Amino acid sequence: MFKPETYIQRRKLLKKEVGSGLLLFLGNEESPMNYRDNTYHFRQDSSFLYFFGLDSPGLAAIVDIDENRDVLFGDDIGIEDIIWMGHLPRMKDRAREVGVRHTAARAAFGDTVRKALTAGRSVHFLPPSRTDNALVLSGLLGIPVKKIKAKASLEFIKAVVDQRLYKSKEEVREIEAAVETSQAMFLAAMKLAKPGRYEHEISGAMEGIALSRGMRLAFPPIVTINGQTLHNHSHGNMLVKGRLLVADVGAEAASSYASDITRTIPVGGRFNRRQRDVYEIVLAGQETAIKAMKPGVMFKEIHLGTARVMAAGLKDLGLMKGDGEAAVAAGAHALFFPHGLGHNMGLDVHDMEDLGENNIGYDKTVERSSQFGLAYLRMAKELRPGHVMTVEPGLYFIPALFEKWRKEKKFREFIAYDEVEKYLDFGGARIEDNVLVTEKGHRVLGPPIPKTVADIEKACHV
């Protein structure tokens, strides 16, 4: 939790941006794994956390802009809760820690909203990421659950995005602390990536390091020798020589800020010729992208620049042909690089995607493309100081996509299908770092994590 002034300032700015009405904030509730008292790890709603800082269930808040009044709703715990769960400070004291003077019982939240609606006042809410909260809003506002997201207040969303998107020094420190834990996780993974071990041994060891540092994982980890499946969350394979282990794992600091790092590790600690060739192309793409990160540059242009570098590398390898620039413009490179270059990160690993991807990464200067591959780019707009982005290009050999395109005779002028066929047992390679956009350029966050072929091989053999 930051100092009370941080939260006071954030809410003050929010009031100024939205102008009038009530802003509703619903904290998250516990989520049962099976029965009520056996719950998943509690994770607070990120916008609630950003503006009200308190990290526990049973809370809601209202910012009344017209009366310049912030109220936290929550119940003081009674003796029964104290017996089972221990002591919790009183709501008044907890509220003071985040600069809020007014508190009320949780049940009064609904009454306050109903009163405002009856008085004809405007009530703004954000699209809820959890169904429980969609149900609460639906009941209170008389909007069908399925329409809740669509009826959310665009002014409120934009005001939240305008703040959360630009990270302060104290936020960047939290992200860097998470990256520091990532460094330890990846150094361990490199040492462990030996033939005969199982993917779950590596993912378990990495998660253990996060837990042992009072952190958690920021998202379900990807630790797989089948990196060609982009979001592969199964960890049951045995590592075998000749495969690349793609590890895309993020830590979540106690403050809930995330890191999101990917490294590609040759099983057994030595890249073979073919692996090195492809890996070096991804690395060149990533380094080109990082170098280009600075205020005023469209992230979409950086994505396309990386695609061009990788297409040129693939042409040198004999896997692509023809004019590289034309190939990228047409989208032919997406056979190998079908996802976006990166996304914003902060309190969420894909920051604020619950508020609508286009509200985060697109604006009136840039529309989302419908082209395969480019359509997955979550951030396209101009970079500004304070953005924290992932930069995560990859190259993959996805047999099903290859077969489909070959059958459709797609981009035959750019893709050397007979050569690509020889790589269908390759898997994939991705490299990801977390980059802050600064006034003058950028800074890669956290301590360095081995990334060149030589450094990775060295780290595998310590």
Enumerate binding residues for ligand GLY (CB under 6 A).
219, 248, 260
Nearer to ligand GLY, 39 or 226 (CB): 226
- Which element (helix H / strand E) includes 444? strand 442-444
As a whole number of Å, the CA-based R_g of the chain is 24
Q: How many angstroms separate the CA atoms of 264 and 331, rounded?
A: 25
When CB distances are held under 5 to 8 angstroms depending on the partner's kind, the choice from Mn ion, ligand GLY, none that residue 224 binds is: none
Of the ranges 175-183, 226-234, 253-261, 451-459, which one interacts with Mn ion (CB under 5 A)? Answer: 253-261
Indicate whether 260 belongs to the interface with Mn ion (CB under 5 A): yes
Indicate whether 207 belongs to the interface with Mn ion (CB under 5 A): no
When CB distances are held under 5 to 8 angstroms depending on the partner's kind, the choice from Mn ion, ligand GLY, none that residue 376 binds is: none
- How far apart are CB 81 and Mn ion at their closest, in Å? 38
Nearer to Mn ion, 327 or 341 (CB): 341
What is the sign of the dihedral through the CA atoms of 100, 105, 108 and 110?
A: positive
- How far apart are CB 219 and ligand GLY at their closest, in Å? 6
- How far apart are CB 378 and ligand GLY at their closest, in Å? 9
Contact 342, 442 (CB under 8 A): no
SS3 of residue 311 by DSSP: helix
Q: How many angstroms separate the CA atoms of 453 and 264, rounded?
A: 10
Nearer to ligand GLY, 45 or 248 (CB): 248
Nearer to ligand GLY, 260 or 457 (CB): 260
Indicate whether 264 belongs to the interface with Mn ion (CB under 5 A): no
Nearer to ligand GLY, 310 or 341 (CB): 341
The tokens describing 115, both together, are 């009163």
- How far apart are CB 355 and ligand GLY at their closest, in Å? 17
When CB distances are held under 5 to 8 angstroms depending on the partner's kind, the choice from Mn ion, ligand GLY, none that residue 252 binds is: none
Selected binder of Mn ion within 46, 275, 344, 390 (CB under 5 A): 390
Nearer to ligand GLY, 190 or 345 (CB): 345
Of the ranges 127-135, 208-216, 258-266, 409-417, which one interacts with Mn ion (CB under 5 A)? Answer: 258-266
- How far apart are CB 87 and ligand GLY at their closest, in Å? 37
Instruction: Please classify residue 107 by burial: count the beta carbons closer than 10 Å to its beta carbon, then call 0-12 exposed, 13-18 middle and 19+ buried.
Output: exposed
Contact 112, 103 (CB under 8 A): no
Of the ranges 122-130, 157-165, 382-390, 403-411, which one interacts with Mn ion (CB under 5 A)? Answer: 382-390
When CB distances are held under 5 to 8 angstroms depending on the partner's kind, the choice from Mn ion, ligand GLY, none that residue 198 binds is: none
Of the ranges 13-21, 140-148, 282-290, 383-391, which one interacts with Mn ion (CB under 5 A)? Answer: 383-391
Q: How many angstroms separate the CA atoms of 294 and 440, rounded?
A: 7
Q: How many angstroms separate the CA atoms of 437 and 460, rounded?
A: 31
What is the three-state SS of 35-60?
CCCCECCCCCCHHHHHHHCCCCCCCE
| 178-190: burial string, b at 16+ Cβ within 10 Å, e else | bbbbbbbbbbbbb
Nearer to ligand GLY, 398 or 420 (CB): 398
Contact 215, 254 (CB under 8 A): yes
Contact 389, 293 (CB under 8 A): yes
- How far apart are CB 353 and ligand GLY at their closest, in Å? 10
Nearer to ligand GLY, 252 or 260 (CB): 260
Helix (H), strand (E) counts: the chain: 17, 15
For residue 420, what are the CA distances in angstroms to 209, 315, 442? 38, 11, 36
First to last CA, the chain: 38
Footprint of Mn ion on this chain (CB under 5 A)?
260, 390
